[in-house]
Structure 1
C-alpha cells in the first residue's frame, strides 16, 4: 500500500529494536534514566524524520534496583511521547533451544501499569512479547478502551512455531481489537539465539490481514474502525461476560 501524501502512518518496531542478540545483561550498559535518554531521543528523531507515529519496540530504562525496564514508547509524528509501557510479564522459562534457560528477571524489572493511548488511528493498547500468553492483560486493555493492540516481540523459534499465530489470533478474537505484532526474526549472537518472526496484522474477527512468514522486511494494512464497531455490535462479548474484570497484581518476588 503506497503512502498517500498527508495520510498519517503508524510504524511498529519489534521488541529490542535497537539492542538484541547478546547476553541480557548488556542491556544495563545502554540503559538511561527516565524518559529522556539517548536511545529515546534517537527514536523520537526518527519519528520526526519520517513523519510517522512510531511504536518504538522496546529499549532499556533503568529501574533503580540494578535492573532495567523493558519499555516501549509511542511517539507522534512530531517526536512527542504519547505514552509508554513497561513489559509486565518476564520470560523466566526453559526452552529446548540453544539458549535453554531464559531468565529475564535477572536483568529486567516488571512494569506496574497498563497503557492505552489516544491516537488519530484509534485507542492503542500496549503490550510486549511474553505478555501475549496472559489474556487477562488484553481483556483489561479492551476494558480500558483499546481498539488496536500492539505486540512488539522476540518469540523464540521453538515457542513461536508452536504458539505465536494462534495466540495473536486468539487475543484479537477475544478483545475484538486489531492486533499489530512486529517480531524479531533469524539467528542472533552467532547462532546462540533464534527467533521465529512472522510479523502479523490481525483484524478483530481473527483474520490475518497481512503477515511476513520469515525474513526481514515490512508489511502494511489499512485499519477500519467501522468494521471493528460492527463486529462488537453484532457480538457484544464485553457486555455478555459474567466474570469479574482482571486486576493488576504486584509482581511476584524472585
Structure 2
C-alpha cells in the first residue's frame, strides 16, 4: 500500500470520534438554547491593611458594588477580623443589613465559634437581610488551626444556584467539581493571603475551575497597600495578590480589580453555554470512582533512577507512523534517541495495528526503543480490542520499554466504554497516560495521580478553542496533582499550540517549534516535588532599614517540600460521592448548536 493512501486512512481518529458522539445525543441533551438569566456579579479586593480590614470599610466596598448595580457580591476571607464570638455576630448582622439595603446577595466570610471550636465560615446573606445559608471551610492545610465543616452545600436562589469556597479550598479541584455536579452555576470564592502569595498558578487554576466545571467564578482577595512586588523568599515574601475577579464558564476574565483594592463587577448570563470549543464527558462516570474512594490502591516506585530525560518528537500526519527505516518518522525517533532520552513521546496518529503495515511499523518502533535504550509512547494506534460506540476503532496509546517490549496500553476514555484508568511502573517511576480529548476531563489526571502517577504523558490531536486553552488545562492538571506533564500535539497553524513538558507548577520546561517537525527535550527530577510555604513564628526583618524595606516580612514562612503529599492527604472522598454518580453533560452546547457545528456552512 502506498504511504499517501495510508495517510488518508489515518485522518483524525480523535476528531471522527467527536463528530460521531455529537451525532448521537442522549435523551438529556437540550433541544434549544436555555433562556438567558443575566445577573451582575461582583468580587471585592480589600487592602491587606488595618485601615481597610474593618467593618466600616467593608460596608463602603459594598456601597461601591451597589453603585455598579451588583446583585451578588463576594468578600475576601476574614473580611472583618473577629474572634468568632459576639464580634462576629455583630459584623454579620451589619453586613446582612447592607445586603438588605442594597438588595443584593453577599458572601461574607467570618470566624465562627461553636461548641468550643472555631470555624472559618462563609455566610450567604440575602437581599432581605436574612442568612440564606452558610458553608464551613471543609479542607485545610496543616498550618491552618481551624475546625472543618462536613458538607459542600449549594444554595438555590432566584438569581441562580450558588456554591461557596474559602481560602485554601482552591487547592482541591474536587470541591468546585462537586459543587457544580450538585447544581452550582456560580461559585463565590473568599480567598485570603497565603504566607507566600503566588499569582501564576492561582490565575491558571481559577480559569480552569470555571472552564472544567461549567461555572462562573467570582474570586475575592486582598491587595497590598504598596505597589505590587513578587516574593524572593526569605528576604521578601511577596505582596498580596489583589485580583478580585469574575470569570465566566469559558475561563475568560470578565472583570478584574488588578493588583490593587477595588470592586470588579461584570454582567453574567448564568444560562449561557461556553463560547469556546469544549468536550464534555458523556460516558459512564463510574470510571471516576477513584476520586470518591478512600482506599485507592497506590503504586509506589522502588528503584534508583529518578532524574530522566524526556523528549517529545513532534511530527505532522505526513510524517506519521510508517515502516520505512529512511522515513522522517524513523529519523525523528533517532534524533530524539541520540539525546540520551529515557522517554520519547509522540502524538496521536491513526495507525491500524492489525494489518501488515501496522505490524511492520510497530516492529520499527520496538527496534528504535531497543536501539536507543528508551521508553517510547505513541497514541492514536487503532487497536481493534475495544471500538468506539460508533463501532469505529478506538484510539490507544502503547508504551514500549527499553527492550522494545510493549509493557502498557491505554485506551482513550473521552469517547467510549473504558472501565479503568491504569498507571504503569517503569524503571524510573510511575507513569500515567491520557489521550487527546481526555484533557477536558480533570478527573482522569486526578485518578492517575491518586494511583501514584508522577508524570502523565498525553499524545493528542486536541486543538479546540486554542493552544492557550489546551495549555491552561494541561497546566491545571500538573498544578492540581503535583505531577509532570508531557503533551505531544500535532504541529499546526495556531501559534499557541505546541508540544511541551510542564513541571508540577505548570511551568513550561521545553517546547516544540512553531508549525514544524521538531524535537524538544529536557531533564527532569521526579524526586523534586512541588513545595509550599507554611506559617511560621520565625521573625523577619520588618521594621529594619534596607533595600525596599517596606516589603520586609514580619515573619519568615517555613519552606516545606511535601505539597503533593499534603494535598492528597487533605482530600475528603466522603464529600465527593457526586463525582462518579452525577454528570455535567446537560451544560454542554444545545443540540441545535452542536448540529450546526458539524454541518457544512455556505
Q: Please tell me whether residue 118 in structure 1 is matched to residue 161 in structure 2.
A: no
Task: Show CA shifts across 1:54-112 (max 9, x none).
Answer: 111x11111323x41110011111111111101112233xxxxxxxxxx222xx11111
Q: Please tell me whether residue 55 in structure 1 is matched to residue 107 in structure 2.
A: yes
Asked if structure 2 preserves the Cα contact closer than 8 Å seen for 1:154 and 1:196, the reply is no
Hey, what does 1:17 align to over in structure 2? 79
Distance 1:31 1:54 in 2: 20
Q: If the length of structure 1 is used for normalisation, what is the TM-score?
A: 0.76
Q: 1:233 to 1:82 in 2, by over 3 A?
A: farther
- The structure having more radius of gyration, on CA atoms, is 2
Match of 1:201 among 246, 255, 258: 246
Q: Please tell me whether residue 217 in structure 1 is matched to residue 268 in structure 2.
A: no
Q: 1:236 to 1:161 in 2, by over 3 A?
A: closer
Shift of 1:39: 2.2
Q: 1:63 to 1:169 in 2, by over 3 A?
A: same
Q: 1:3 to 1:181 in 2, by over 3 A?
A: closer
Distance 1:192 1:231 in 2: 38
Asked if structure 1 preserves the Cα contact closer than 8 Å seen for 2:213 and 2:249, the reply is yes
Distance 2:249 2:206 in 1: 11
Hey, what does 1:100 align to over in structure 2? none
RMSD: 3.3
Asked if structure 1 preserves the Cα contact closer than 8 Å seen for 2:66 and 2:102, the reply is no
Hey, what does 2:520 align to over in structure 1? none
Hey, what does 2:94 align to over in structure 1? 42
Counterparts of 1:116-155 in structure 2, within 5 Å, are 116-155=154-193
Asked if structure 1 preserves the Cα contact closer than 8 Å seen for 2:186 and 2:270, the reply is no
Distance 2:239 2:65 in 1: 33
Counterparts of 1:151-230 in structure 2, within 5 Å, are 151-156=189-194, 158-186=196-224, 194-228=239-273
User: Which secondary structure does the structure 2 equivalent of 1:79 belong to?
Assistant: coil
Distance 1:181 1:45 in 2: 22
Distance 1:196 1:246 in 2: 33
Q: 1:122 to 1:90 in 2, by over 3 A?
A: same
Shift of 1:234: 6.6
Asked if structure 1 preserves the Cα contact closer than 8 Å seen for 2:197 and 2:237, the reply is no
Q: If the length of structure 2 is used for normalisation, what is the TM-score?
A: 0.34
Shift of 1:32: 4.3
Hey, what does 1:73 align to over in structure 2? 123
Match of 2:85 among 27, 31, 49: 31
Q: 1:233 to 1:142 in 2, by over 3 A?
A: farther
Distance 2:134 2:179 in 1: 14
Q: 1:13 to 1:250 in 2, by over 3 A?
A: same
Asked if structure 1 preserves the Cα contact closer than 8 Å seen for 2:100 and 2:128, the reply is yes
Asked if structure 1 preserves the Cα contact closer than 8 Å seen for 2:176 and 2:213, the reply is yes
Match of 1:104 among 144, 148, 154: 144
Distance 2:194 2:66 in 1: 36
Distance 1:174 1:18 in 2: 32
Distance 1:80 1:239 in 2: 41
Hey, what does 1:236 align to over in structure 2? 280
Q: Post-superposition, which runs of at least 4 consecutive aligned residues in structure 1 deviate over 6 A?
A: 1-5, 231-234
Q: Please tell me whether residue 82 in structure 1 is matched to residue 136 in structure 2.
A: no
Task: Show CA shifts across 1:106-146 (max 9, x none).
Answer: xx111111110011221111111211110111111111011
User: Which secondary structure does the structure 1 equivalent of 2:168 belong to?
Assistant: helix
> 5+ unaligned residues in a row in structure 1: which ranges?
20-26, 93-102
Shift of 1:202: 0.8
> 5+ unaligned residues in a row in structure 2: which ranges?
1-39, 41-63, 227-235, 294-571, 576-602
Shift of 1:171: 0.8
